[in-house]
Amino acid sequence: MLEIILWFIGIIIIVPIIYLTENFILNAIPGQKRTYLLQPIYRLIKHFSKTDYYNRPLTRWFPVGACLFALITLYFVAAGENILLIISGLTMMELFVLVGACSTKEPYGIMAAQRGIARLTVWSFTLMTAAASLYKVTETLQLSRVIQYSSENILLVRLPLVTAGLFTAAMIKGNLGYFDFGINANAMSFLDTALYTPYGGRSLGVVQLTQWIETGIWLKLISYFLPWKPWISFLVSTIFYLAAMLLSTIVPRMSWKKVMTNSWIWAGGLPAINYIWLYML
Amino acid sequence: MGFIVLGVVLGPVVLLLISFLIPQGRASRIFVEISAVLFFLSAVYLFINPASHVDCFYLPHIVWKLIALLTTVFVFVVSLLDKHYIISVLTFIQSITLAVFEIFNSPQEAVPFLSFNYDGKVLLLAGSFIMAFFIPITLIYLKKYFSQKKSVKIQEKQIEAGILLLMAAFAGLAAANSVTGLFLFCQWMYIAIGLFLRAFKNSGRKRAAGILIVQQLVLTVWMASIPFIYQKTGSLYINGLNAEIGEIRVLIAVMVFALAIVIGCLIPDRYIWETFFSMPTPVSGIAALILSVMSPIAVLLKFSFLFTGLNNKILTLMIIFGSLVMVGGAYYSCISRKAMQILQGILMSVAGWGISTIFISRESMFFTVGYTAAAAITVTFLFACVTILEYMKGTQDVEHMYNLHREMPEMTIFMSAAMILFLFAPFYSALQRLLYVRFLADNPVSMLLTITALILVSAVIFRWLSVLLSAGDKTSIESDSYPVIFRIILPIAFVLVAAANLMLGSVYHYFQYQPIPMGYLPAENIEAYSNLEGILYMLTPGKGLIYAGGAIIILGACFYIMHRLNKSEKTADDTQSRVFYHYSLTAWIPSGANPGIILRTGWISLMILIAGVALSCLK
């Protein structure tokens, strides 16, 4: 139990550190926007000091729901629970985010929610194919048992494309690089994405927390597929994600239809190929 | 007990004949509703009581033979009067085959002719609940629908007759033990749907004639094969097919499969569904639920012993076909805006999943029965909500459901909860088991198609939920126009829907304690499946239950606090009007790609392949 709690708290702490590191590195690169080093944390604190733009209880309730499900899912992923529970938790979290975006009459919010639903089809396909592949290889869906398997037989060797697909799904959720579904096509952070236009003040702070927790969930999930000790695997997946965040700043943006096609090819196609490949071997 | 079995099947037909004596109007509507309730109560009685062949009441064989012949002659005469000459030729062939077969062979009918095994009982219970719950809403809706039209008494009578016959046909298909019985009840189903189509004459009906011809063609082939089956097995008993019948087994299995698919209109093609179910929402819903979901599954379950030992190639093709139906349903619900079409697509998806999983193993059959029953009940509830909305608002366009949570909060809560229950049913009970069964292990293509269908259905439900819970322009619904009966029925039905979904795991326990019929393979690991932890499994406090229950309580508390704190404040968006509407979920698909064509190519190719492989077995 102590280990689970440590992982739970550790992931919550590490994800903001990734954003701080990204901020630090970007500040050091010439030609990039310069901000305060602690800008992401400062922004979060600032949000919590403001009042909401919309006073509708329902609109303010959705981020709370999303955050709750993110925390539950984080617990599941830290405890190495059944991957189907993690999928259901992430789906519920997304439901709250998407419905929340439609809960006001913000046209950009509604449009982003529509794209969010389309995006959901991609990453949930990836996750479910990953679950099916995982079961095919390890004959279990319990992630805690997957660690055991992964340490004895290198799981990555049998599921390389599934791991790559999951990483792409994490990039899709983080609006990174060629997988940016943001409307303004210049998403420096989640705040620029239209999905969160209905929120302001505390609600937006809760949304930001939710997104950090979600990033942590994806990183921990990917780390289960890596062959090293859990903390090393998590560190490796974190470094890869940070690299993707940094690369994202120099990658040109595309129209969302193109992004959707890219997402299906990389996040949907790779795990599907791996899954069929398991039957061929 | 025997009387009840017989009554469930023949009772609605007797009531149908009595209904002709009742003048059209309120009395006849009440009569039909009472019939549906009686049907449901009989199903409950059958479900509770253990089955026994000893105390069965048998009708003489000649009665069933006469009923079968009279039904075929009736269809022949009606088609002749309607100038549907192809159908009349086909039904003429059926009548002659039946008569000649009886004269020359005079075979003994199966004894008992009707009996329910445990999976049939579960399906009957679910189907009768659908009828009892949905019929009052349907009749109230139709009263308003027909009030705007002239000379409607005959049409109303046709619909009521169709409903009663549909009940009888469904119960018959679930209970039939004889191959001629299967033919008879399929014909009843055909007549019932024919009555619906006749009542709503429109351009779609003419196009539906093509499907009706195919249905009669398949029934003719089935009828023509009965003498051969009798020759090979020496009886008309369905379980008699379990005997050594050689390679013909494959052909019979393919014919049963085709019968279930064609009678249930389970073709992944939007054009075919829209043509066939071009009726008002509740009638279309009730027809699709019974005809396309419950009946095909009941028929396939009856022949499950035939499929389990089948040629692996043909089985794989059938499973892929089921998955394709699933994807087709999900995709077409994605591109629809009308709630009725969305729900029809979801229903096809449910039926497709049932078809995919039914052939694999004993465990997957349990899953199929449980999931099909629970999903059909949930979709019925959604159909009922949509019918009520259409009754009150005059539209069933999903885009027009904005602001519903303010106009009809209870309806929004019920619909949202039912959708979430439907969405997560595979997660908390079935998918886990599905992954354990051989379906996953042996059918990668089907599994990928199944996953695709699941996520597409999720996307559709998410879109719908986002509309239901979103803000919109204020419109008013007069509280007077919301009939009291709707207010009473909806909450009761919702509780039952929630119970059916959350206690889905208990279905496995129920099956576990049932005796295994002759010729059936025992479940391999049912004990292990029943005791799986980690997933929402009601009656056993597990992690899933704590997770769901805890989340609901916390969310409820948060909402209450926020609502209390903001009660006096005015909302910022009350005066604005909505400026942006939803667009299709498939808007991103490149214009050159047409998934509809791909699906059509897929199902035609699969059908040809299945037929080809089946015929190749005859060498």
Place A168 in a pLDDT band, splitting at 50, 70 and 90.
Answer: very high
Cis preceding-peptide flag for B112 (omega within 30 of 0): yes
Of the CA atoms within 13 Å of residue B589, those in its CB half-sphere come to: 13
Q: Is residue B593 part of a domain?
A: no
| Dihedral pair phi/psi, residue A53, rounded to 5° | -75, -45
Residue B428 has pLDDT above 80, yes or no: no
With tokens 């998410």, the residue in question is B462
Of the CA atoms within 13 Å of residue B424, those in its CB half-sphere come to: 25
DSSP notation for B422-486: HHHHIIIIIHHHHHHSHHHHH-HHHHHHHHHHHHHHHHHHHHHHHHHTS--------GGGS-HHH
Task: Inform me whether the C-beta atom of residue A143 falls under 8 Å from chain B C-beta atoms.
Answer: no
Domain limits for position B455: 311-516
Q: What is the mean pLDDT of residues B451-459?
A: 89
With a pLDDT cut of 90, the percent of chain B lying above it is 12
Place B321 in a pLDDT band, splitting at 50, 70 and 90.
Answer: very high
Q: What is residue B434's predicted lDDT score, i.e. its pLDDT?
A: 53
B277 Cβ contact list (under 8 Å, min separation 6): B265, B284, B287, B288, B344
pLDDT digits (tens, 9 = 90+) for B179-195: 888 999 999 999 998 88
CA distance A125 to chain B (A): 6
Of the residues A71, A99, A124, A136, the best mutation for testing chain B's interface (the one with the most B CB atoms within 10 Å of its CB) is A99
Residue B431 has pLDDT above 60, yes or no: no
Q: What is residue A106's predicted lDDT score, i.e. its pLDDT?
A: 74
Say whether B444 and A275 touch across the interface (CB within 8 A). Answer: yes
Q: Which residue of B has its CA nearest to A102?
A: B470
pLDDT digits (tens, 9 = 90+) for B97-116: 888 887 777 777 777 778 88
Task: Inform me whether the C-beta atom of residue A93 falls under 8 Å from chain B C-beta atoms.
Answer: no
Of the residues B334, B437, B456, B469, the best mutation for testing chain A's interface (the one with the most A CB atoms within 10 Å of its CB) is B469
Say whether B562 and A61 touch across the interface (CB within 8 A). Answer: yes
The number of angstroms, rounded, from the C-alpha of A135 to the middle of its chain's C-alpha atoms is 22
Q: What is the mean pLDDT of residues B590-599?
A: 82
Q: What is residue B191's predicted lDDT score, i.e. its pLDDT?
A: 92
Q: What is the mean pLDDT of residues B492-513?
A: 76
Q: What is residue B575's predicted lDDT score, i.e. its pLDDT?
A: 46
Residue A136 has pLDDT above 90, yes or no: no
Q: Which of B228, B150, B192, B580 is nearest to A105 (CA)?
A: B580
Tokens of B177: 């033990």
Run of H or E including B186: helix B179-199
Q: Is B525 helix (H, G, I), strand (E, B) or coil?
A: coil
Say whether A261 and B441 touch across the interface (CB within 8 A). Answer: no
Say whether B579 and A107 touch across the interface (CB within 8 A). Answer: yes
Residue B479 has pLDDT above 50, yes or no: yes
Q: What is the mean pLDDT of residues B355-375?
A: 79
Say whether B585 and A105 touch across the interface (CB within 8 A). Answer: no
As a whole number, the mean pLDDT across chain B is 79
Q: Which of A208, A202, A211 is nearest to B566 (CA)?
A: A202
Place B535 in a pLDDT band, splitting at 50, 70 and 90.
Answer: very low
Q: What is the mean pLDDT of residues B165-185?
A: 90
Distance CA B285, CA B500 (A): 19
Place A241 in a pLDDT band, splitting at 50, 70 and 90.
Answer: very high
Residue B539 has pLDDT above 70, yes or no: no
Q: Are B6 and B114 in contact (CB under 8 A)?
A: yes
Distance CA B113, CA B181 (A): 7
Whether the CA torsion B255, B261, B267, B268 is positive or negative: it is: negative
Q: What is residue B206's predicted lDDT score, i.e. its pLDDT?
A: 64
Distance CA B480, CA A225 (A): 60
Q: What is the mean pLDDT of residues A83-105?
A: 83
The count of CB pairs under 8 A between chains A and B is 161
Q: Which residue of A has its CA nearest to B561?
A: A57
Q: Is residue B383 part of a domain?
A: yes
Place B439 in a pLDDT band, splitting at 50, 70 and 90.
Answer: low
Q: What is residue B325's predicted lDDT score, i.e. its pLDDT?
A: 93
Q: What is residue B554's predicted lDDT score, i.e. its pLDDT?
A: 81
Say whether B543 and A135 touch across the interface (CB within 8 A). Answer: no
- Lowest mean per-residue pLDDT among B4-13, B199-208, B213-222: B199-208
Q: What is the mean pLDDT of residues B205-231?
A: 84
* A115-129, A142-156, B229-243, B524-538 — most confident range: A115-129
- Lowest mean per-residue pLDDT among B139-148, B283-292, B414-423: B139-148
Q: Is residue B363 part of a domain?
A: yes
With tokens 């509604």, the residue in question is A110
Q: Is residue B208 part of a domain?
A: no
Helix axes B153-175, B295-302, angle to 10 degrees: 20
Q: What is residue B169's predicted lDDT score, i.e. its pLDDT?
A: 92
Q: Are B319 and B446 in contact (CB under 8 A)?
A: yes
Residue B474 CB neighbour total at 10 angstroms: 12
Number of domains composing chain B:
1
Say whether B447 and A275 touch across the interface (CB within 8 A). Answer: yes
Supply the DSSP symbol for B521: P
Cβ-Cβ contacts under 8 Å, A198 against chain B: none
From A54, A72, A131, residue closest to B573, measured CB to CB: A54
Q: Which of B418, B403, B414 is nearest to B343 (CA)?
A: B418
Scanning A224-243 for CB atoms below 8 A from B yields none
Categorise residue B402: left if φ over 0, alpha if ψ from -120 to 50, beta otherwise. Answer: beta
With a pLDDT cut of 70, the percent of chain B lying above it is 79
Helix axes B409-425, B484-502, angle to 10 degrees: 20
Q: Is residue B403 part of a domain?
A: yes
3-state helix, strand and coil shares in percent for chain A, rounded to the nearest 5: 75, 0, 20
Say whether B451 and A128 touch across the interface (CB within 8 A). Answer: yes
- Looking at per-residue confidence, does B275 or B508 come out higher? B275
pLDDT digits (tens, 9 = 90+) for B299-308: 988 888 787 7
CA distance B22 to chain A (A): 50
pLDDT digits (tens, 9 = 90+) for A189-230: 444 466 777 777 788 888 888 989 999 999 999 999 988 888
From A57, A118, A124, residue closest to B562, measured CB to CB: A57
Q: Which residue of A has its CA nearest to B583?
A: A114
Run of H or E including B615: helix B595-616
Q: Is residue B592 part of a domain?
A: no
Residues in chain A: 281
As a whole number, the mean pLDDT across chain A is 83
- Looking at per-residue confidence, does B201 or A11 come out higher? A11
From A81, A114, A125, residue closest to B452, measured CB to CB: A125
- Looking at per-residue confidence, does B156 or B439 come out higher? B156
Distance CA B332, CA A166 (A): 28
Residue B77 has pLDDT above 90, yes or no: yes
From A55, A76, A117, residue closest to B572, measured CB to CB: A55
Q: State the Cα angle at B517 between B351 and B321, rounded to 5°.
A: 25
- ipTM for the complex? 0.88
Cβ-Cβ contacts under 8 Å, A55 against chain B: 566, 569-572
pLDDT digits (tens, 9 = 90+) for A201-210: 788 888 888 9
Residue B445 CB neighbour total at 10 angstroms: 15
Q: State the Cα angle at B303 between B300 and B305, rounded to 5°.
A: 125
Q: Is residue B214 part of a domain?
A: no
Q: Is residue B573 part of a domain?
A: no
